[in-house]
Structure 1
Amino acid sequence: MAKKLYVGNLPYSVDDEALHQHFAQFGAVDSAKVIMDRETGRSKGFGFVEMADDTGADAAIEKANGIELSGRAINVSEARPQAPREGGPRRGGFGGGRGGGGGGGRGFGGPRGPRN
């Protein structure tokens, strides 16, 4: 059965292919994905590797955790299921509903006093 691994502290230069190649030495890799920032398109410094079987996954955790990949010591562990998100749908924007203010209480439009 396939096992998904979390790989943290990845160098920003590592892409999906490099991640796949690195983990192939431990067993058959079903998929390798470096997580990218949606806005900048840059790596977020972590990713996931799905190993084809438990033997390869266990070997990868044991042998790859703490070793250097392109100059950085990577963290490898079994991926935890994503926790369900709290709350309702996300809302964008700046929050707040009330905009602009009227100038109340300044005496405009009321009776005028005598002009001297």
Structure 2
Amino acid sequence: MAGRDDPGKFFVGNLSWNTDNDVLWRYFSRYGELSDAVVIMDRQTGRSRGFGFVTFRDPQCVDEVLHEGQHTIDGRQVLP
């Protein structure tokens, strides 16, 4: 789902605890040029909270990601 303020930004849920920013970046960069890919971390524990956000420079790349359907990162089916 694209964000209101940034049409190239979307939520990615159900991430593995082992997925980091680099893994997220490498996976989604196959769909187009990224400007950001971040896994949200718990401030107290430093562990992943299991979700993140990806931002494409070209908002139309989000449509391609969503059109493909299922995505598996680090052995888990994620929810874009």
TM-score, normalised to structure 2, is: 0.85
Structure 1 residue runs of 4 or more that deviate by more than 4 Å after TM superposition:
none
Which residue of 40, 49, 56 corresponds with 1:51?
56
**What per-residue deviation string (whole Å, max 9, x for no partner) do you get for residues 24-69 of structure 1?**
0001110000000000000000000001112211112222x42221
Question: Which protein has greater RCO, CA pairs closer than 8 Å, 6+ apart?
Answer: 2
Select the structure that is richer in helix: 2
The answer to whether 1:36 aligns with 2:41 is yes
The answer to whether 1:72 aligns with 2:70 is no
State how far apart, in whole Å, the 2-side matches of 1:62 and 1:45 are. 23
5+ residue gaps in structure 2?
1-5
State how far apart, in whole Å, the 2-side matches of 1:66 and 1:46 are. 16
The structure with the largest alpha-carbon Rg is 1
- One-letter amino acid matched to 1:31: D
- One-letter amino acid matched to 2:24: L
TM-score, normalised to structure 1, is: 0.60
5+ residue gaps in structure 1?
77-116
Equivalent residue, structure 2, for 1:23: 28
Whether the aligned pair in 2 keeps the contact of 1:6 and 1:46 (CA below 8 Å) is yes
Select the structure that is richer in strand: 2
Equivalent residue, structure 1, for 2:11: 6
Q: Secondary structure in 2 aligned to 1:39?
A: coil
- One-letter amino acid matched to 1:68: T
State how far apart, in whole Å, the 2-side matches of 1:67 and 1:24 are. 13
